[in-house]
Chains A and B, each alone.
Chain A
Amino acid sequence: MVLDVNWTVKWLTLCAQAMAEHRLELIELDRAIGDSDHGENMDRGFQAVLAKLDEDMPETPGAALKMTAMTLMSKVGGAAGPLYGTAFLRAATAVGDAIEVEPAAWAGALAAARDGIVARGKAEPGDKTMVDAWTPAVDAARVVADGGSPDVLDVLVAAAEAAEAGAVATDPLVARKGRASYLGERSAGHRDPGAVSTALILRAAVGAAA
């Protein structure tokens, strides 16, 4: 198993599938503590990515990630657009024009993506945002990638599992960023939709490698 352009395209396709499948769930989560557009926006954004892939097949993982960044930033509309767009853009820059991305390089790309989200959104761990899924995912991916002769699938699995646990762990948090922060204490008891969509994206990466 290698992380090449075929894997990247399959990953993006599975992301689109996941956003379509979980559209209502994300809308419901966002209705509780936001403005209920997250499911709609993510679904529309990744459908637009699929349309772009139909038009023009990228030649490298980096090119596919950059195209995704541009598309999400243009089509999503809400805050998730520039945040995920920046994540994919920084990941694209991190992998460069490599034909195959090594496990350590992928862990680095995830870290770059997370750093981009933090730079753009100014959220920190514990603010009840997508950063709470990204940060444990980055840490888990790095631990596996830094081990002896890491298998890339293990890196992807570690990131997905940590993101899912991170999303669940946003339940009791009080939001300090984004629209949910307007609710103050009342935001506790709900899962952050951005953390959930992050977990879906990183889980799709596993599916693409399976």
Chain B
Amino acid sequence: MTVTIVVVSHSEKIADGATELAAQMAPDVLILPAGGTDDGRIGTSLEKVLAALGKAGEDGAVVIADLGSAVMTAESALEFAGDPPDVVLADAPLVEGLVAAAVAAQGGADVRGVRRAAEAVRGPGRRPLPSASDAVAEGVTGAGPDYTGDFELVNQAGMHARPAAKIAGGLASLDAEVAVNGVDGTSMTALMTLAAGKGSVLHVEAWGVDAERAVNYVGGLVQAGFGEP
């Protein structure tokens, strides 16, 4: 069982479509759409969101909503349900956030990890990530990354959405700060901005308890070509 994800949108079609898209990348994750009003209009429905939360698995749920009042409906649903500790709202763009969240859930992340993966797609990512050269310049020792690795992209398409989602999603479930070519490794959009094609080398730096696992995780994915040609 993984974390369940509930998708709250003003539009039933958006919720269903985003769910369909994310499910492709996360086949074992229960993703529940809650879009539109009860009578199929544009809007959001507390009953639909509560019904989805009622179907969530025992590993908790992350709720992702689209615009203004969908967020309010999602918050209201959490309040109505008595603010259960294992149900959280992610402040993330619906489609990108959902995909990143779904991949993180597929990778076994808990509710905090899944939320973190969703929210990391927002911007340039968590900062600051100290680099080894900064540490030398400031005369500080031991501030360099705990583990590093360099991996050449071997798949034809290089770094595109699916590989970025896999890297970001998996890293979100680890207790490590990870930089890939200087950007936040848990941010799907930041990874995509690297625009790294086939033959490019990803320089991975990791800090923290799971630093070694993080570097090995990225290395394993890259060397396997992300399972792509």
Contacts and interface: CB of A to CB of B under 8 A. Distances in A.
A binds B: yes
Interface of A: 69-70, 73-79, 81-83, 85-86, 89, 120-121
A77 B41 contact: yes
Given A74-B45, A74-B46, A89-B76, A79 B37 contact: no
B229 interface: no
Contact of A86 (B37, B44, B48, B79): B79
14 contacts: A70-B46, A73-B76, A74-B46, A75-B38, A75-B45, A77-B43, A77-B45, A81-B44, A82-B69, A85-B46, A86-B76, A89-B76, A89-B79, A120-B72
Nearest to A37: B43
A83 B72 contact: yes
A98 to B, nearest CB: 21
Given A86-B76, A120-B72, A120-B76, A77 B37 contact: yes
Contacts of A69: 80
A75 B44 CA distance: 8
B75 interface: yes
A78 B69 contact: yes
B42 interface: yes
B73 interface: yes
Given A70-B47, A78-B69, 20 more contacts: A70-B46, A73-B45, A73-B47, A73-B73, A74-B45, A75-B38, A75-B45, A77-B37, A77-B41, A77-B45, A78-B43, A81-B43, A82-B69, A82-B73, A89-B76, A89-B79, A89-B80, A120-B72, A120-B75, A121-B72
A78 B46 CA distance: 12
B139 interface: no
B76 A75 contact: no
A54 B48 CA distance: 22
A5 to B, nearest CB: 21
Contacts of B42: 77
A89 B77 CA distance: 11
A81 B71 CA distance: 12
Interface SS majority for chain A: helix
A79 B72 contact: yes
Contact of B75 (A70, A77, A81, A82): A82
Interface of B: 37-38, 41-48, 68-69, 72-73, 75-76, 79-80
A177 B41 CA distance: 24
Contacts of A86: 72, 76, 79
Nearest to A41: B43
A81 B73 contact: yes
**Which 6 A/B pairs are nearest by Cβ-Cβ distance?**
A77-B43, A73-B46, A82-B72, A79-B69, A74-B47, A82-B76
A69 B47 CA distance: 11
Contacts of B72: 79, 82-83, 86, 120-121
B80 A70 contact: yes
A151 B41 CA distance: 44
A82 B89 CA distance: 16
A121 B69 CA distance: 9
Nearest to B10: A77
Contacts of B47: 70, 73-74
Contacts of A120: 72, 75-76
A176 to B, nearest CB: 14
Contact of B38 (A74, A79, A83, A89): A74
